[in-house]
Amino acid sequence: MGENDLIAIISSSVHDMKAPLTTISGFAGAMLDGTIPEEKREHYLAIIRDESERMSRICEELLEASRIEAGCENYKNETVDISDIARNVIVSLLDEIEAKNLNFEFNEPEIRQTVMGDKGAITRLLYNICENAVKFSYKGGDMVVTLGVIDGYNAVRIENSGDAISDEVKEKIFLPFYRSGKGSGSGLGMFIAKRIADAHGAEIKIDRDNDRTVFTVVFGRG
């Protein structure tokens, strides 16, 4: 990806930050000038907090995508416990999982699973895919994360009940800025996940199982 593509990444992300910035500025101004009554301030402060966190995530993804495309990512190559990483990722998404009232299930083998790679990058890889699964799950639906072995390779399977992924989305989901009809955010999350997987010799498989979409990350087979 060349200089024009990096400019496109920055331009798209700046555009995506306009909405939360407008919300934050508007509500903050309304509280300062007394338009929002005291009893409703907590509600609007929560919105400001959420929009600030959204903008922070967009900034993080912008910086990470820019570093990846500029070849500035120096990934470590050390033994990483993907069981711990997967568990921590789920903990960080518990609020979103509970907000959707998902029937969540986490399965892991008794033997700890390890791979060689960069802990922070692999965390981002699994987080982006799990966050995507939560986002596209039906309210009250199912989400299952399973650690196991496929053809001798350690793997993480993430499945969610929702509209089964279409062939069109399967073809485009790893492109930068791609959003499906329900998508939001920078459009860089799955792009970053794919680039991290490629850098770690991992393969991301996408399958459909009736009303479920299944992402499987197979380490060491890419």
Other residues' Cβ atoms within 10 Å of the Cβ of residue 88? 13
Structure tokens given for 146? 């399973």
What pLDDT does 56 receive?
A: 74
132-179 pLDDT per residue, tens: 999 999 999 999 999 999 989 999 999 999 887 888 888 888 887 666
Question: Residue 77 carries which side chain, given as an amino acid letter?
Answer: N
Distance CA 135, CA 208 (A): 17
DSSP string, 52-106: HHHHHHHHHHHHHHHHHHHT------EEEEHHHHHHHHHHHTHHHHHHTT-EEEE
Residues of the chain with CATH 1.10.287.130: 3-70
What whole-number percentage of the chain has pLDDT above 70? 84
What pLDDT does 180 receive?
A: 65
What pLDDT does 4 receive?
A: 55
Length of the chain: 222
The class that CATH gives domain 3-70 is: mainly alpha
- Please answer whether residues 192 and 210 qualify as being in contact, where contact means their C-beta atoms are separated by less than 8 angstroms: no
Structure tokens given for 203? 């393969």
Q: Burial, 52: exposed, middle or buried (Cβ in 10 Å; 0-12, 13-18, 19+)?
A: middle
46-88 pLDDT per residue, tens: 888 877 877 777 777 777 776 777 666 788 899 999 999 999 9
What pLDDT does 116 receive?
A: 93
pTM for the whole structure:
0.77
Instruction: State whether CATH 3.40.50.261 applies to domain 78-219.
Output: no
